[in-house]
Amino acid sequence: MGMGDPLDLLPGTLELLILKTLAAGAQHGYGIAQRLKDESNDVLQVGESSLYPALQRLLLKRWVKAEWGASENNRRARYYTLTASGRKQLPAERADFDRLIVAIHKILNAT
Amino acid sequence: MGELIRRIREWLRWRRLNDTLAEELEFHRTMTERRLEAGGMAPDAAAAAARRALGSGALAADQSRDVWMAAWAQDLARDGRFAGRMLARERGFTIVVVTVLGLGIGTASLMWVLLDAVCVRGLPIPRVDRVVFVGARDSQKRDIAISYREFDRIRAATPGVDDVSAFANAPAVLGDDDRAPDRAFATYVSAPMFQMLRERPQLGRDFTPSDDRPGATPVAILAAGMWRSRYASDPSVVGRVIRINGTPTAIVGVMREPFRFPSVTDVWLPLSAMPGISTEQRAARALNVVMRMRDDASLASVRSALADEADVLAHDYPATNAGVTLDAVTINERYNGRLTDTVWIAFMLVAAIVLLVACANAANMLLMRAAARSHEIAVRASLGASRGRIVRQLVVESALLACLGGALGAGLSVGGLRAINAIIPESTLAYWMRFQFDLRAFAGLCALCLGTVAVFGLAPALHVASANVNDVIKSGGRGGSGAMRGRRWTTICLAAECGLTMVMLAALVVGIRTARDTGRKFVAVDSANVLTTWVTLPADRYRTTDARRAFYRNVEQRLATVPGTSVVAMAATLPLGGAAPRLLEIDDQPSAPDRMPTVWTVTVSAKYFDAVGVGVARGRAFGDRDGLPGYEAAIVNQRFAEMFFPGRDAIGRHVRLSEANAPAAATPALPIVGVVPSVRQRTTTADPDPIVYVPLAAAPPVSARLLVRGTTSMPTGSSLRDALHEIDSELPLYRTLPMAQALDASQWNGRISEWLLNTIAIVAVGLASLGLYAVIAHAIAQRTREIGIRVALGATRARVVSMVARQAAMHFVLGVGTGVACVFGFARLTEGPAGAQVTPGYQITSASTLAAVAALLAVITAIASIAPAWRACRVDPARTLRES
């Protein structure tokens, strides 16, 4: 995925992380990037050219919706919120991701 | 599905999406910058770092957009928008090219629809190539129907076929207790008919062999159209008993829409129920026979089996079968129009010519534009546009042009079909002949036009590719070898266009002249205040000649008492409504049966000639007793008198009329008592036919047209109906119309031809004038600079106009020259082996035709040069010179 990211994410992972972040409440793009950076202790630095296409994909699937609102410092910002189907999708995506991780671990731990 | 809708919604708000993304990314960048500043960085350094940290905003926006629409599609859309702007700016060019393409595509696809419906598509029967029609011919090679005994033999003796079925058409009357009676087209079919056609009723059941036995309970199957119109699609109609020709008959089934085999049938009855069906008499020929070949049988084997069977029959029954041959053709061959008929060849040629003219025209305009475009394209190439990029742009532009042309063409052809369908009266064309827009053919034609547009639209790209970009830019799109080559092609295209247009115009001039002469001349009937209706006498109550004769007499007397009625008459058919062919023998000119000329007969009542308002030219009209035994009489038309008694008096001579198969001696000799003006009975022939009118009393028909002339105004339909229902309450009136309308309806064929001819003439003239206009306008535009200099040096307006006129005259001479050559070539090409039937003066190579067409072309050229001349006069020398 994203070019110039400190760490490449597995395909689809960014969408899962966005969904998880938004589960805590509405957030704008910048806010999502900051949360991901902060909570991963600066490991995940998501660039705009990964984040915004991922958000478009989520909009297209209608798992999130976007609305203009005022940001904390009173600037116009586009806030993303989970839709009902997005909320339903989160555990499913999470399960898929867990299966993937288990599979990868299995291969890496094989002797 | 939902995703696609969301995508499309976003495509429609593309600009908003761009703005949103830009604003979002800007916000993101600002926020990053602030964070860095808050961390103690200098504002300038923070801005730079923010930009560095987040990469290119443009890339993020691009990739976000790609989620909604693939990158190539975005490029295409951008090219499309640019092409749209280009075409909108060159509005004149766009309108002309789109009109030209639209006219070409529209006319050609309209012609194709007609051709396809009548000649190509055929009957909608599964595996139709296995269904064959058995045809019989008498010793003189005339088509005749088949008798029941022959049908029996064919059924038994033809190997390799299934479901041999016979059918015969007859008018019928449907009656119920609670509804007015309806006249219907009935077809008597033998039981396996629908199975043979692979059709199943949508409701109820098919006929069974036990339905088709003498003495079986009468049953009927309805067509979907009759079910809908008479019974409002009520499913409970199956099982109901209605009266068909007065006989209580149970409806056992309803067929599916639009099945009306063999043509426009409303109700099917078992063959055994056919009145007068004779299973014994060999001379009673009334049936048509169809059957389905098995997979192991071939048409050749079926034909040879039938030929053998005919020989056996001829040997066993020489009185009825001597010389009668049997043959089989596929059902489509029997029912389809023949592509080789002159009228269809003419249609195809016209369609092809219109399409070619349109393509040549479009090509021409694109070539001319290529010269102007090459400068712009050279500039783009020098600014770094790749050849692929330029070609793609031009292809998109061409495709857009072709699509607009196609849309116009689709509209024109749909509108044309609607107009044609409005002319055709209901239940005249067989159920499978539907004039419907054909998407496949339309797509093919569009592809052809797209090809033309693409090939010629790419000319500027090829020009730039082959020439030195520097030279093109320096020449300013004016001169250069490429422009010379372009001009040569333009001239060739224009010459071809003029040639083809002139051929078409010449053919049309001849066609219009012929149509005008034949169409109007012989229909000189006075249809004012005449109401007509069609009565069909139910066979059960009017089985005998006497019963029918009495009925018609009653009608005549009863209607004459209705106030405001001046004349009441009956005829088997109206003018233009057809006539019955008979073999003619004239008293003192006996001839062998195979040499007897065919004439046409119409059965009419005493007052018929008063009712249609033609009167009697010589002799007298029929009297009340004419036609009764011992009072034989006949009236002939002037055409007949001219043909058979040239220079002599026809009155007092005797004629004998016989049907093709019956011996002539049995019919009485009829003395000619009068001669009437020629009135056309058939619409298909150029000359009026020789007609013998026979009195109604001699052979009162089962079905007749009633004509009622009012003294001062049109009689009302209700007065007619009330009077008739006093005589017989269960008599359906069918097509009660003023005579003018009835004549119009029967001329639908001619009217469609006329409509098509007129439309094509307008299209041809339109295309030619557009083509000439474009070429002249372009030539003048190329000389704008020269004109500017001339005006600056003192040339007057008159001089400038004469310059334009010279240009126009040059093209006119070129066009007429190629045109005349093409017309002669076309005449050579279409010349028949004999060429005898062409009336002098109606040849396309005749001087008057060519003069008329040349004059038309001159007018077109003059009109086409008005706008260029006006533009040339307004050339402002100062501006022109400054610009270049």
Selection from B93, B193, B160 nearest residue B301 by Cα: B160
- Give tens-digit pLDDT for A32-50: 998 988 888 888 888 888 8
What is the average per-residue pLDDT within B384-410? 84
CB contact under 8 A, B6 and A30: no
Would you state the pLDDT for residue B68? 84
Report the C-alpha gap between A96 and A11 in whole angstroms: 12
Would you state the pLDDT for residue B690? 86
CB contact under 8 A, A56 and B67: yes
| Mutant choice from B31, B52, B68 vs A, greatest count of A C-beta within 10 A | B31
Output B127-130 pairs: Cβ under 8 A, ≥24 positions apart.
B127/B198, B127/B292, B128/B330, B128/B331, B128/B332, B129/B330, B129/B332, B130/B292, B130/B293, B130/B294, B130/B295
For B422-441, give the secondary structure using H, E and C: HHCCCCCCCCCCCCCCCHHH
Compute CA distances B538 → B176, B269, B494, B571, whole Å.
14, 15, 65, 17
Residue with tokens 């958000």: A55
What is the average per-residue pLDDT within B606-620? 89
Report the C-alpha gap between B490 and A110 in whole angstroms: 77
The top-scoring range by mean pLDDT among A52-61, B678-687, B720-729, B868-877 is A52-61
Which stretch of DSSP H or E encloses residue B329? strand B325-330
Would you state the pLDDT for residue B750? 67
Identify the DSSP state of B689.
Answer: P
Q: CB–CB of B742/B574 below 8 Å?
A: yes
Looking at the complex, report in whole angstroms how far the Cα of residue A25 sits from the nearest Cα belonging to chain B. Answer: 19
Would you state the pLDDT for residue B221? 95
B 63-122 near A (Cβ less than 8 A): 63-68
The top-scoring range by mean pLDDT among A106-110, B433-437, B512-516, B819-823 is A106-110
Using a CB-CB distance cutoff of 8 angstroms, which residues of chain B are in contact with residue A75?
27, 30
The top-scoring range by mean pLDDT among B134-143, B826-835, B838-847 is B134-143
Total residue length of chain A: 111
Would you state the pLDDT for residue B481? 47
Q: What is the mean pLDDT of chain B?
A: 82
Would you state the pLDDT for residue B588? 65
**B733 beta partners:** B535
Compute CA distances B738 → B559, B565, B609, B745, whole Å.
16, 14, 17, 11
* Bond into B262 cis (ω within 30): yes
Would you state the pLDDT for residue B816? 87
What is the average per-residue pLDDT within B534-548? 83
Encoding tokens for residue B715?
């009689």
CB contact under 8 A, A49 and B63: yes
Residue in B with minimal Cα distance to A47: B54
Q: Is B57 touching A (CB cutoff 8 A)?
A: yes
Q: CB–CB of B641/B650 below 8 Å?
A: yes
> Out of B315-319, B548-552, B773-777, B851-855, which region has the weakest mean confidence (pLDDT)?
B773-777
Give residues with Cβ within 8 angstroms of A74, minimum separation 6: none
Encoding tokens for residue B635?
């009236």
Report the C-alpha gap between B748 and B239 in whole angstroms: 39
Look at strands B219-222 and B247-254 and give their pairing.
Answer: parallel
For B356-407, give the secondary structure using H, E and C: HHHHHHHHHHHHHHHHHHHHHHHHHHHCCCCHHHHHHHHHHHHHHHHHHHHH
Would you state the pLDDT for residue B819? 86
CB contact under 8 A, A29 and B57: no
Would you state the pLDDT for residue B306? 92
**Entry pTM:** 0.68
Give residues with Cβ within 8 angstroms of B84, minimum separation 6: B400
User: Of residues B4 and B199, which shows the higher confidence score?
Assistant: B199
pLDDT band at B838 (very low <50, low <70, confident <90, very high): very low
What is the average per-residue pLDDT within B797-810? 86
Would you state the pLDDT for residue B835? 42
Residue in B with minimal Cα distance to A49: B60
Distance of CA B208 to the CA centre of its chain: 39
Encoding tokens for residue B743?
């004549």
Would you state the pLDDT for residue B460? 64
Report the C-alpha gap between B502 and B498 in whole angstroms: 6
pLDDT at B695 over 90: yes
Report the C-alpha gap between B844 and B850 in whole angstroms: 7
Edge-first strand order for the sheet with A76-82 is A27-28, A76-82, A64-70
Q: What percent of chain B has pLDDT over 90?
A: 16
CB contact under 8 A, B27 and A4: no
CB contact under 8 A, B31 and A48: no
Q: CB–CB of B655/B691 below 8 Å?
A: no
Three-class secondary structure of residue B166 per DSSP = strand
Using a CB-CB distance cutoff of 8 angstroms, which residues of chain B are in contact with residue A77?
24, 27
* Phi, psi dihedrals of residue B291, rounded to the nearest 5°: -155, 170
pLDDT at B405 over 60: yes
Name which of A33, A53, A78 is nearest B67 (Cβ-Cβ): A53
- Give tens-digit pLDDT for A72-92: 778 888 999 999 999 998 999
Which residue type, as a one-letter code, is found at position B579? A
| Mutant choice from A32, A48, A59, A71 vs B, greatest count of B C-beta within 10 A | A48
Report the C-alpha gap between A66 and A77 in whole angstroms: 10
Would you state the pLDDT for residue B61? 83
Where b means 16+ CB within 10 Å and e means fewer, B643-669 reads bbbeeeebbebebbbbebbeebeebee
Would you state the pLDDT for residue A102? 92
Q: Is B16 touching A (CB cutoff 8 A)?
A: no
Residue with tokens 């609305």: A67
Residue in A with minimal Cα distance to B8: A60
Q: Is B294 touching A (CB cutoff 8 A)?
A: no
- Give tens-digit pLDDT for B699-734: 898 888 899 998 888 888 888 888 888 888 778 777
Would you state the pLDDT for residue B836? 39
Selection from B283, B727, B273, B280 nearest residue B539 by Cα: B273
> Out of B124-128, B214-218, B753-757, which region has the weakest mean confidence (pLDDT)?
B753-757
pLDDT band at B196 (very low <50, low <70, confident <90, very high): very high
Would you state the pLDDT for residue B55? 63
Would you state the pLDDT for residue B522? 52
Using a CB-CB distance cutoff of 8 angstroms, which residues of chain A are in contact with residue B21?
52
Q: Dihedral angle at the C-alpha atoms of B29, B33, B39, B43, nearest 10 degrees? A: 170
pLDDT band at B841 (very low <50, low <70, confident <90, very high): very low
What is the average per-residue pLDDT within B136-157? 84
Name which of A48, A53, A77 is nearest B54 (Cβ-Cβ): A48
Count other C-beta atoms under 10 Å from residue B484's C-beta: 10
The top-scoring range by mean pLDDT among B226-235, B424-433, B637-646 is B226-235
Looking at the complex, report in whole angstroms how far the Cα of residue A46 sits from the nearest Cα belonging to chain B. Answer: 9
Encoding tokens for residue B871?
């533009």
Encoding tokens for residue B363?
């090509």
Report the C-alpha gap between B787 and B481 in whole angstroms: 22
Would you state the pLDDT for residue B107? 86
What is the average per-residue pLDDT within B486-506? 76
Three-class secondary structure of residue B705 per DSSP = strand
pLDDT at B479 over 60: no
What is the average per-residue pLDDT within B381-407? 83
Would you state the pLDDT for residue B238? 93
pLDDT at A1 over 50: no
What is the average per-residue pLDDT within B768-784? 80
What is the average per-residue pLDDT within B409-426? 86
B596 φ/ψ sector (left φ>0, alpha ψ -120 to 50, else beta): beta
What is the average per-residue pLDDT within B269-288? 79
Would you state the pLDDT for residue B242? 92
Selection from B155, B164, B156, B150 nearest residue B316 by Cα: B150
Q: Is A65 touching B (CB cutoff 8 A)?
A: no
User: Of residues B528 and B164, which shows the higher confidence score?
Assistant: B164
Report the C-alpha gap between B19 and B21 in whole angstroms: 6
CB contact under 8 A, B24 and A60: no
CB contact under 8 A, B2 and A60: no
The top-scoring range by mean pLDDT among B179-188, B325-334, B585-594 is B325-334
Q: Is B27 touching A (CB cutoff 8 A)?
A: yes
**B241 beta partners:** B250
Residue with tokens 């639908």: B748
Report the C-alpha gap between A60 and A48 in whole angstroms: 18
| Mutant choice from B4, B23, B27, B51 vs A, greatest count of A C-beta within 10 A | B27
Q: Is B26 touching A (CB cutoff 8 A)?
A: no
Report the C-alpha gap between B406 and B478 in whole angstroms: 32
Q: What percent of chain B has pLDDT over 70?
A: 88
pLDDT at B47 over 70: yes
Q: Is A22 touching B (CB cutoff 8 A)?
A: no
Q: Is A4 touching B (CB cutoff 8 A)?
A: yes
Q: Is B295 touching A (CB cutoff 8 A)?
A: no
Where b means 16+ CB within 10 Å and e means fewer, B590-628 reads eeeeeebeebbbbbbbbbbbbbbbbebeebebbeeebbe
pLDDT at B281 over 80: no
Q: CB–CB of B472/B374 below 8 Å?
A: yes
The C-alpha R_g of chain A, in whole angstroms, comes to: 15
pLDDT at B834 over 60: no
* Bond into B258 cis (ω within 30): yes
Task: Please give the span between the terminal C-alpha atoms of chain B, in angstroms, as a whole number.
Answer: 56
| Mutant choice from B63, B66, B74 vs A, greatest count of A C-beta within 10 A | B63
CB contact under 8 A, A47 and B54: yes
Q: CB–CB of B355/B108 below 8 Å?
A: yes
* Phi, psi dihedrals of residue B235, rounded to the nearest 5°: -65, -25
Using a CB-CB distance cutoff of 8 angstroms, which residues of chain A are in contact with residue B70?
none
Q: CB–CB of B550/B662 below 8 Å?
A: no
User: Of residues B743 and B481, which shows the higher confidence score?
Assistant: B743
CB contact under 8 A, B67 and A57: yes
Q: CB–CB of B551/B537 below 8 Å?
A: yes
- Give tens-digit pLDDT for B48-77: 877 776 666 778 888 888 888 887 888 888
The top-scoring range by mean pLDDT among A57-66, B687-696, B731-740 is A57-66
Q: CB–CB of B102/B409 below 8 Å?
A: yes
Would you state the pLDDT for residue B833? 45
Would you state the pLDDT for residue B253? 95
Residue in A with minimal Cα distance to B60: A49
Using a CB-CB distance cutoff of 8 angstroms, which residues of chain B are in contact with residue A3?
55, 59
Total residue length of chain B: 884
Q: Dihedral angle at the C-alpha atoms of B13, B19, B20, B22, nearest 10 degrees? A: 140
Q: Is A30 touching B (CB cutoff 8 A)?
A: yes
pLDDT at B289 over 90: yes
Residue B9, Cβ density class (10 Å: 0-12 exposed, 13-18 middle, ≥19 buried): exposed
Residue B276, Cβ density class (10 Å: 0-12 exposed, 13-18 middle, ≥19 buried): exposed
pLDDT at B283 over 80: no
pLDDT at B476 over 80: no
